[in-house]
Chains A and B, each alone.
Chain A
Amino acid sequence: MRIRVKYQKGVPLRFTSALDIQQIWERTLRRSGVSIVYSQGFHPQPKIQLGLPLPLGFISDEEFVDIWLQGEEDINPLPKRIALNLPDGLTITSVVEIDPIQKPLVTQITTSEYLVRFWDEKIDIADLNKNISHLLEQKEVLRKKRNNKEYDLRPLIFDLASIPEDQSHQGYLLSMKLSSAQNRMGRADDVMSALGFSINQYLVKRLLSY
């Protein structure tokens, strides 16, 4: 049986990488007494499939992981059972059963929405908006990938705007809609660096993907 867990990743785990999150799920399920399917051989691997990778340092309101279970489990009590065994920083939103032969989630997703909060409240909004317009007017925005290969970020940005934090606050947030298609991943921190911000000035939250 294959289940799809929807969860949030919070600040306590923002520095834990996708690979480590996979192991956290394996261990969480073992603690919960839920048996996962393992691959055959001398070095069995648990059958766990993470959704879109979330860059180090980001938090998220909506992440997915697919897990193949041995035998049939009653789905209703599962979220509660698993929640008791989660480390700080992961929160379960829902668990559903899905078709075991359905394609991986990552292949079905094209777009993600992000919200960026600045650590420093005193952001010059006029400056910021000018930078945003300038960036959006560009035909091409070259950034470097981790492997130092250049790529054009511009077509991966679907939407980018500043929004007031709320009525009572003076502050502003940034909202982004970026490509999440495989091999066409728009990175929110690349957008931020293109706007002239360094990595220690903001916190990115992924809101949802579709």
Chain B
Amino acid sequence: MIRKCMILNIQEEISRLIDRDLITVQKPVRYIGGEFNQITEEWSETPFRVALAFPDIYDIGFPNLGIAALYNIINARQDALAERVFAPWFDMEELLRSKKVPLFSLENKIPIGEFDLVGFTLPYETLYTNVLNMLDLSGIPLFSSDRGEDHPIIIAGGHTTYNPEPMHAFIDAFVIGEGELIIQEIIDALVSVKDCSRIEKLEKMALISGMYVPASGIHSLDNFLSNNISITKRFIRKIDTPIQNYLVPNISVVHDRISIEIMRGCSRGCRFCQAGMIMRPVRELQHDQVIDAIKSAVTNTGVSQISLLSLSTSDHSQISEILSDVDQLSEEMQLDFSLPSLRIESFGQDLMDHMQSKRKGNFTIAPEAGSETRRAAINKPIPEQDIIDTVAQICGMGWTNIKLYFMIGFPEETEEDISSIVDLCKEIRNVGNKSTHGRFKLHVSINTLIPKPHTPFQWAPLETKVEIERKYTILREGLRPLKIKVDYPDYDLIRLEALLSRADRQISDVIHTAWQNGAKFDAWHEGFSATIWDAAIENHNLDLNHYLYNEKDLNQSLPWDFIDTGIDKSYLQTEFLNSKSKKLTPGCLQRCAACGVNRNLQIDCSKARLGEG
């Protein structure tokens, strides 16, 4: 009874804050929801309540497809509801703290600490400190071991949890892999032990395949390592017709379009690409399903901007049928389509015809490396002539803005590799200038390889700051005369992302110390502070050579080895060696490279691709 009164009291304070004080922060809409298609279930009549938490601001998290899917799946259940919560921006955090009001959900405006389950979506590592901050703003103990019977169970999923250890101290249980099915099992399990103790709940969750439960030592890492036990990722054999009930934002967000996932996974096998490895096998949404999904999304949301999402859209086996329907729909319904992730290797005439009718915005090409040798090493073999021809063709159609993505810091990279980036840019600039009568605008983005877990480069070192800056200098000097826009990311931020993605459980304490000293919004210029992280790293005597700068031995055990993506470690080893010898491995569509996914996940990849899995 006392607790109930307290909650009512807090609710009053929350609505007071919304009424009176929210006007004083930037974009108050971020914190109040109310979008068309929002689902607000009756709080008191729903037995099991889930908070879907995204540890970045609303504007970034709103379009997240994972959250949208889980939101629909959970709210479709009779016995459960899902509400959303995002990281409050600096001004809102200050307001919450000054008024002593806890972080609350968008739908019913309920303090996050009142939910049964809080699920964090963690697509990138630089969100980790925000998780701590959101827990703290909710009055939930940061460390799993400090939580009691009255606290929610904290789970996390998303690409970063393929190496769960860095966050093991803060997250009670990790979801490894795709969430659509396992979320039902988690809720079933927790509903069945609703009145049991916290430890019983955690034990129950540990029985679900694909869950890693480090809390209270339920899953012991030592035991896993000594007995060679692993956790196999969950995946769905067939991707569903996407979400029908997309929310429609009341303010403009970063990616203000309906995203329809037309294919999951990628058949290419670029050696640096984590998504390409962990999302195997490829699964396509069939042509008619894609078109139905577009039509129903437009009818249900009124949004006319549609994005067809995948890792490599032009590799969809029915892309020409899809495009011809898309072109017709654009005209009939006044829709604006965007196709990110096109690859010029699979750019056919159909695609060119489609591009002809498009609004001429930015056209992106990702050669990744400047020289053909280096492109062979990373298994992205695009002939230079193809890149140049594509630029000429695209510019001939009226495009004037081309964006190029490059990566540096690959193993064994030479100065020639770096100057070949300059040469390629020059060549493209010349061709572009000629085809656009001088109206050509080139934008180059230079990234640094972060050797990610579960990729063939997982054994490779991160390149040092000195080396990267030396290469930046070569690029700056070479590219300056071209008078083009070039982005060079902050090395310290890259180092942080590399550390957070490659570390073991020791880093939990470093994350905690950094947060204590003010680290948050590490993905933002407004938030990231190299000084805070340097101090935390030093404070815990972390050996960066061990985590980042030494090439790892092919046989040494890695902190994420107990997570099984379906890909054999031997395949990754072979691919790492192939990279050194610049040997190409054909994509899955040409020839099976025997990565092990079909055997380990018991699936026929070619059937799975066509939705017959």
Which residues of A are interface residues toward B (Cβ below 8 A)?
12-13, 15-17, 19-20, 23-24, 26-31, 38, 42-44, 56-57, 85-89, 119, 199-201, 203
Contact = CB atoms under 8 A, between A and B. Distances in A.
B532 interface: no
A71 to B, nearest CB: 14
Contact of A13 (B34, B359, B360): B34
A12 B28 CA distance: 11
A117 B34 CA distance: 23
Given A12-B32, A57-B23, A199-B24, A20 B302 contact: no
A16 B36 contact: no
B21 A23 contact: no
B168 to A, nearest CB: 39
A119 B19 contact: yes
B251 A12 contact: no
B20 interface: yes
Interface of B: 19-24, 27-29, 32, 34-36, 248, 250-252, 298-304, 334, 358-360
B470 to A, nearest CB: 43
Contacts of A23: 252
A23 B22 CA distance: 23
A38, A56, A88 pick with most chain B CB within 10 angstroms: A88
Given A12-B32, A42-B359, A42-B360, A27 B302 contact: yes
Contact of B302 (A13, A31, A38, A43): A31
Given A15-B23, A15-B28, A16-B29, A27 B34 contact: no
B135 to A, nearest CB: 27
A203 B21 CA distance: 11
B250 A200 contact: no
B22, B29, B358, B360 pick with most chain A CB within 10 angstroms: B29
A199 B252 CA distance: 24
Contacts of B22: 15
Contacts of B359: 42-43
Nearest to A189: B23
Contact of A38 (B24, B252, B334): B334
A26 B360 contact: no
A91 B291 CA distance: 33
A15 to B, nearest CB: 4
B296 to A, nearest CB: 12
A200 B29 contact: no
Given A12-B34, A44-B334, A201 B248 contact: no
A87 B301 CA distance: 11
A89 B35 CA distance: 10
A203 B252 contact: no
B251 A200 contact: no
The 6 lowest CB-CB distance pairs between A and B, nearest first, are: A27-B302, A30-B302, A31-B302, A42-B359, A15-B28, A87-B36
A167 to B, nearest CB: 25
A200 B21 contact: yes
Nearest to B333: A30
Contacts of A43: 359
A42 B298 CA distance: 20
19 contacts: A12-B32, A12-B34, A13-B34, A15-B27, A17-B251, A23-B252, A24-B250, A26-B302, A27-B301, A27-B303, A30-B302, A31-B36, A31-B302, A43-B359, A44-B334, A87-B34, A88-B34, A89-B34, A200-B20
A201 B24 CA distance: 11
Contacts of B24: 199-200
Contacts of B250: 13, 16, 20, 24, 87, 89
Contacts of A42: 358-360
Nearest to B37: A87
Contact of B251 (A20, A88, A199): A20
Contact of B35 (A17, A57, A87, A203): A87
Given A27-B36, A27-B301, A30-B298, 18 more contacts: A12-B32, A13-B250, A15-B22, A15-B28, A16-B251, A26-B304, A27-B302, A30-B303, A30-B304, A44-B334, A56-B23, A57-B23, A87-B36, A87-B248, A119-B19, A200-B21, A200-B23, A201-B20
Contact of B20 (A30, A44, A89, A119): A119
Contacts of A86: 36
Contacts of B334: 38, 44
Given A12-B34, A200-B20, A31 B299 contact: yes
Contacts of B358: 42
Given A17-B251, A20-B251, A44-B334, A203 B19 contact: yes
Nearest to B30: A15
Nearest to A27: B302
Given A200-B21, A201-B20, A15 B36 contact: no
A200 B360 CA distance: 45
Nearest to A199: B23
A109 B250 CA distance: 27
Contacts of B35: 87
Nearest to A42: B359
Contacts of B298: 30
Nearest to B22: A15
Contacts of B34: 12-13, 87-89
B19, B20, B301 pick with most chain A CB within 10 angstroms: B20
Contacts of A20: 250-252
Contacts of B302: 26-31, 85
Nearest to A88: B34
B248 A15 contact: no
A20 B29 CA distance: 11
Nearest to A202: B20
Contacts of A27: 36, 248, 301-304
Nearest to A86: B36
B397 to A, nearest CB: 12
Nearest to B300: A31
A199 B34 CA distance: 23
A20 B248 CA distance: 11
Contacts of B248: 27, 87
Contacts of B301: 27, 31
Nearest to B248: A27
Nearest to A119: B20
A89 B33 CA distance: 12
Nearest to B19: A119
A16 B35 CA distance: 11
Contacts of A29: 302
Contacts of B23: 15, 56-57, 199-200
A27 B24 CA distance: 28
B405 to A, nearest CB: 25
Contacts of B21: 200
B34, B250, B299, B360 pick with most chain A CB within 10 angstroms: B250
A42 to B, nearest CB: 4
Nearest to B357: A42
B221 to A, nearest CB: 46
Contacts of A203: 19
Nearest to A13: B250
